[in-house]
Structures are given as C-alpha cells and as structure tokens.
Amino acid sequence: MNKAEKPEQYDSDVKLDVKTNLPEDDIKAPLSFSPELTSGNMQTSYKFKCPGPGVFQCDLTRMVFVMAQEAELSYRTVIWDESLLQSAGKLPAGPLFDIKCSDDSAVDELHLPHCETKEALAFYGLMSVVHFTDDGMSILEPKEITDSHVVVKVPHLSAFGLIWDAFKRFLKISLPIKGQILLLRRPLYVRYLILDVIVLQENIPAHEVAVQHEGSELITVSSDCLLSFGQNYNVKCEPTCHLIQPKGAEFMSRVGPNYHSTFEVFVTPDTESVTVIVQDQEKKEVWKNFVLLTAPSGEIRGGEDSVPSEDSVPSEDSVPSGDSVPSGDSIPANKRIVSIRVKFINTVTDSSLGSILDILLERRVIYDAELQSICKPNRATIDKARDTIDLVRRCGADCCSVLITAIRRVDPCLSRELKLS
C-alpha cells in the first residue's frame, strides 16, 4: 500500500526514544548541551560547536541535531508567515527556527519537539515539517515520529518548523495536548506583587518566554499538564489574592515570538506563599502548584539602614502603641509604622513631609494620582501626614521600610524623636 492509500487512522508503532532513529551501529542517547546565548531586542540567538559526529540535544529548545561531523551551529526563532501556511491548509505547531551551520552538509537529521499525546500520534498525516528557503516553502514528510519529536532528513539548512494539518487537527481538537504553565514574577513592586501565569503548549521553550518578559523572574515549578484547544480556563489562588484578571481565557495555539501573560495574579507584597490552580470550564483542576514568593532580586529595599525582614517577629501583643516607640530594629517595618503613627502625624513638618513624599514617589511606593490627592491645595499638614502613613501602611512591610528610611534621611531630628535612628 503506498502512502496515498494509508487510512486516516492506523496502528502506529510509535517509537518512544530518539536513539531509535540512529543507525544500529551508532545507537546512543543524545548528548545534552547548553548553547551560548546572545540576547538583544527581546530575542535570543543560540550557538553551539559540535565536537564531532553524534546526536546533540539543546537543553533550552529541546531540538536534537544528528551531526555527521564537527561543525558550529547557530539558530534562532523567527516569525511565521501564516498566510503561506493557510494557503496550504497548515497551521504552526511550534516555533519556527532559522538554523545555520558552518558546514551545511554536517547536519544529517533534525528532531523538532512536538506537544501531542500518544493517542494523537496514531493519526497519519497530522504533523509534518515545513522548510522555508529563498526558493519558497516545501513540506517534508517525517522520517520518524517519536513520543516527543518529529524527525526529518535535512536537505540543506534554513528555516524549519513543525506544522499541523489544519483539517485533521480540527477533527481531533478533542484530543488534549501536552501543555505547560509558566509563572513569572514581575520586579520592583511595592503596592502589589504580580504573577504572570502563561498557558502554553509544551514545545514552546520557556527561555523564549522569559526573554519576552525582560526583568521578570521565571519561577521554577513543575509546569506539565494536559490542555485542550478551545477550552476555557481560569485561575484560582489560595489564600485568596487581591485580584486575578481576566476571569477566564480560551486556550489557543501560541508559537511566538510574543508570549503575553494569559492571567495576572495580584497579591500583597508581604504574602509569603500561594497555591496557584488552573481549572478548566468544568472546574476540574488541570494544574496546581505551591509557590514560595521570596523577594525578587530587584525588589525595593530601604538601603543599608533599612528595617530588616521579619525573621524574628514578636507577637502582635508585644508591639507598643502610642508614644512608646521601640528603639531597636527587631520590630518589623509595618509594625513600627503602626507604633509611630500618631506621633508622626502630629510632629512632621510640611517641608519634611514634601521631601518624604518625593522619595516615596521616586521609589514607586506611591503614584502621581495619590501624590496629587494627598497634596491638594489648602490641606492641613496633619491631614496630609495621616493620608501618607495610612496609605504606606496598607501597602505592606517593604513600603513601610521605604518610609522609615525616608524619614531618617529627610529629618534626622524627627527620626530621633520617633526613635527610628
């Protein structure tokens, strides 16, 4: 039976390991390598010098190169021209990689990671590989499909990408794909700590996503899950967070280069940990992880003289009130602010308060609209001071630390009177 006569579904003998694609006299597992990275304009280029013939797997993109000889590889993701694919009835099924090599004949095979489950692999013609050159687009039949990769012979190097047959993928839309949930923590937050929850298919490199969110920290958690195209998903957070937006989102294929946040989770800066849950439209949990919210590297601190973190926090009852202000730094910043509140409101001068507000604005503890509200014309200093300290107090311990440091720097006399020095 020739290829055209194959039935739509057949009993596929799916090979489950890339090593089975090698000649019998050269069977070995791929050698994992960490490529040299060059980043710029929110894009990454990868480079690796293969020391000789063999099988090499990039630990960031999961691509596998079967090399016939020593050579230097360079590759990067590029933007799909989806109009060309649509005219051929195809859809992108992963990133498009522009691949170059110091010797074009050195690369014998290319293994592109896919996200299909074993059940979907039983359907002939669902996946293939597109090859873009200066002469146009050609579609390559896979030499092999394993449980994780689609394997093709390399005629010559240029742009390669995994594609779906649009009609067959639509017919099998009920079959889930292997997905991943990525969490990124945004930097420099004082009012809220924001987690970006990004829902993607498994064969999208996490590093490519992180590059698109420059400055954010990719949180290492177990990301594996099963997802279904067209299904609506939502996020829950335990304990209850301040805000999650949007309330729901439909899962669609995303192949880059832009990977915007699917959900945003807002929690208060003093939250130590949360459990993030992703549910489908039937309220079934598809992914759940406990996340420690340690301070990111760029989080605001008060400098060398800032109030230390709450490692040894006395009980609420042990914090003095009124004019009895603790003089040591053993009391956490948010509790010290409560203890000095009345005296600060009644003692700070208008000139000192203005300078303190400037520091709070510079450090992004307050924003322009809040500054304008506090400093409305003809307002009494005592009212402005009350609004300032109450606003900062509600923002958490880190913001309180910034306020204490600002008082120390702007008005040493007031700092001594409040026993902050």
> What tens digit of pLDDT does each residue of 280-314 get?
999 999 999 998 886 443 344 333 333 333 333 33
- Residue 210 tokens read as 């992180």
Residue 380 pLDDT > 60: yes
Which region, left, alpha or beta, applies to residue 33 given φ > 0 means left and ψ of -120 to 50 means alpha? beta
pLDDT given at position 393: 86
Q: Which CATH class is domain 3-171?
A: mainly beta
Determine whether domain 177-292 maps to CATH 2.60.40.2660: yes
CA distances from 325 to 109, 321, 322, 338, 346 (A): 72, 7, 7, 10, 15
pLDDT given at position 190: 59
Residue 202 pLDDT > 80: yes
Band (pLDDT 50/70/90 cuts) for residue 378 is confident
Residue 142 pLDDT > 80: yes
Task: Give the lowest-confidence range in 72-81, 119-128, 227-236, 301-310.
Answer: 301-310
pLDDT given at position 124: 83
Residues 14, 183: Cα–Cα separation, whole Å? 32
pLDDT given at position 269: 78
Band (pLDDT 50/70/90 cuts) for residue 329 is low
Q: Tell me the pLDDT of the chain averaged across its residues.
A: 82
Residue 2 pLDDT > 70: no
Residues 385, 341: Cα–Cα separation, whole Å? 9
Distance of CA 417 to the CA centre of its chain: 46
Angle value at C-alpha 157, between 151 and 158, nearest 5 degrees: 105
188-214 average pLDDT score: 86
Band (pLDDT 50/70/90 cuts) for residue 14 is very low
Q: Where are the domains of the chain?
A: 3-171, 177-292, 320-417
Residues 353, 344: Cα–Cα separation, whole Å? 10
91-95 average pLDDT score: 95
On the 0-12 / 13-18 / 19+ scale of CB atoms within 10 A, 417 is middle
pLDDT given at position 53: 95
pLDDT given at position 364: 80
pLDDT given at position 247: 94
pLDDT given at position 165: 92
In the chain, the percentage of residues whose pLDDT exceeds 70 is 83
Band (pLDDT 50/70/90 cuts) for residue 189 is low
Task: Print the SS3 string covering the chain.
Answer: CCHHHCCCECCCCCECCHHHHCCHHHCCCCEEECCEEEEECCEEEEEEEECCCEEEEECCCCCEEEECCCEEEEEEEECCCHHHHHHCCEEEEEEEEEEEECCHHHEEEEEEECCECCCHHHECCCEEEEEEECCEEEEECCCEEECCEEEEECCCCCEEEEEEEHHHHHHCCCCCEEEEEEEEECCCCCCCEEEEEEEEECCCCHHHHHHHCCCCEEECCCCEEEECCCCEEEEEEECCCCEEECCCEECCCCCCCCCCCCEEEEECCCCCEEEEEEEECCCCEEEEEEEECCCCCCCCCCCCCCCCCCCCCCCHHHCCCCCCCCCCCCCCHHHHHHHHHHHHHHHCCHHHHHHHHHHHHHCCCCCHHHHHHHCCCCCCHHHHHHHHHHHHHHCCHHHHHHHHHHHHHHCHHHHHHCCCC
Is the distance from CB of 152 to CB of 110 less than 8 angstroms?
A: yes
- Which residue matches tokens 């400037």? 358
pLDDT given at position 188: 55
Residues 379, 179: Cα–Cα separation, whole Å? 55
Q: Which CATH superfamily is domain 320-417 in?
A: Death Domain, Fas (1.10.533.10)
Residue range 147-188, pLDDT digits in tens: 999 999 998 899 999 999 989 888 877 889 999 999 999 875
